[in-house]
Amino acid sequence: MKNLNFSLMGLFAGVGGIELGFKQAGFKPVVANEFDKYAGETYRMNHEHDLILKSIKDLEIKEIPKIEVLTGGFPCQAFSLAGYRKGFDDPRGNLFWDIVKIAEEKEPQIIFLENVKNLTGHDNGKTFQVIEKTLKEIGYFVKFDVLNSSQYGNIPQNRERIYIVGFRKKKLSENFAFPNEIKLTKKLTDFIDFENKVDAKYYYGKEKYMYKELSKTIKSSETLYQWRRQYVRENKSNVCPTLTANMGTGGHNVPLVLTKFGIRKLTPRECFNLMGFPSNFKLPKDVPDSQLYKQAGNAVVVPVIKRIATNIMATVLNEKLPSIKPANHSLFD
């Protein structure tokens, strides 16, 4: 591993949150793949390396340079344990197998995957059994854990995600540990503008059918609220509820705040703020808000990624880990 140059490829890249976190930890993203054209536009505004904008199923191995780190926040789809290797030919197109195919061909030293907290219970646990079995078969020693961004990223958002880290060398896997929990010191006011007026389209005025109920219930600027179809839910923990990909479609999953200028939903920029993207991260003006909300909701919390990537880097360099989570799980003994 002494000659490792930390070159990285991001799959299912979205707007590049994983690549950004790894870059902040010292890795070198060289190429990424994303299918969504709107996400691709945001990606290219913020990253210098190459983005291949096409379905992962259309990727050709010759398009991929030599890489030593492969990352991806892959979609979770059900597939059977009995016929798991047939997944490459599954007409439903289970995208995990495309990660496997690339890993087998390029043999990166490190794999990093991110998914929803409930991945281990998906399809009655069958999906995770397949992932565990397959990663082991293609030569990776893996650890995983579920981390909440409010506890591990100093970001006031309740966002739990599972992170899977795989090394081709068993010793590195044994030496690696996830970051320890840190105190949440940042407040909603560090990410949301309660003081200044934003575009009128974000406010919920009397023309909204739920306005009467909103105005009766939303009384505090210290927290966030959500419209839950027929009632208002207050997030009493004073952190933002999990941001979702369909925030831009309206309905019950839109976080609401009370500001000096009235009740409004979060702006796309504020959503990116609550995902830990830096203030200089650019949002294209010609992309619809609905797409920007989708991009934020599909993204990762960058500071959490950076902390995990920092521990990966320290493990490879045989340095003392900057922060260790004592109780961490191992897929393989």
CATH number at residue 74: 3.40.50.150
- Using a pLDDT cut of 90, give the percent of the chain over it: 69
Q: Which residues form the domain of 201?
A: 188-290
My answer on whether 50 and 174 are in the same domain is yes
pLDDT for 177 equals: 96
The C-alpha torsion from 97 through 160 and 263 to 14, rounded to 10°, is -30
Average pLDDT, whole number, for the chain?
89
My answer on whether 229 and 323 are in the same domain is no
My answer on whether 156 and 248 are in the same domain is no
My answer on whether 59 and 161 are in the same domain is yes
Q: Which distant-in-sequence residues (6+ apart) come within 8 Å of 243 by Cβ?
A: 157, 159, 255, 271, 274, 275, 296, 297
My answer on whether 21 and 140 are in the same domain is yes
- pTM, full prediction: 0.91
Give the pLDDT band (50/70/90) at residue 325. Answer: low
237 pLDDT more than 70: yes
Is position 267 within any domain? yes
Mean pLDDT of 142-169: 96
Is position 43 within any domain? yes
pLDDT for 305 equals: 98
My answer on whether 177 and 152 are in the same domain is yes
Burial of 175 (0-12, 13-18, 19+ CB in 10 A): middle
My answer on whether 173 and 231 are in the same domain is no
Is position 263 within any domain? yes
Beta partners for residue 9, in sequence order: 31, 70
Distances (CA, A) of 97 to 133, 158, 169, 202: 12, 30, 22, 40
My answer on whether 89 and 159 are in the same domain is yes
Is position 1 within any domain? no
My answer on whether 158 and 207 are in the same domain is no
What would the pLDDT profile of 112-138 be if each residue is shown by its tens digit?
A: 999 988 888 888 888 888 888 999 999
Cα separation of 21 and 23, whole Å? Answer: 5
Is position 2 within any domain? no
pLDDT for 238 equals: 86
CA 167 to the chain's CA centroid: 20
The count of domains in the chain is: 2
My answer on whether 146 and 106 are in the same domain is yes
pLDDT for 132 equals: 87
pLDDT for 327 equals: 40
Give the pLDDT band (50/70/90) at residue 79. Answer: low
Q: Could you tell me the CATH number of the domain that includes residue 214?
A: 3.90.120
Is position 305 within any domain? yes
My answer on whether 303 and 274 are in the same domain is no
Q: Which distant-in-sequence residues (6+ apart) come within 8 Å of 277 by Cβ?
A: 17, 20, 299, 302
Give the pLDDT band (50/70/90) at residue 83. Answer: low
199 pLDDT more than 70: yes
My answer on whether 133 and 195 are in the same domain is no
What would the pLDDT profile of 301-322 be if each residue is shown by its tens digit?
A: 999 999 999 999 999 998 777 7
Cα separation of 14 and 167, whole Å? Answer: 24
- Catalytic residue, chosen from 9, 31, 70, 76, is 76
In the residue annotation, 240 being an active-site residue is answered as: no
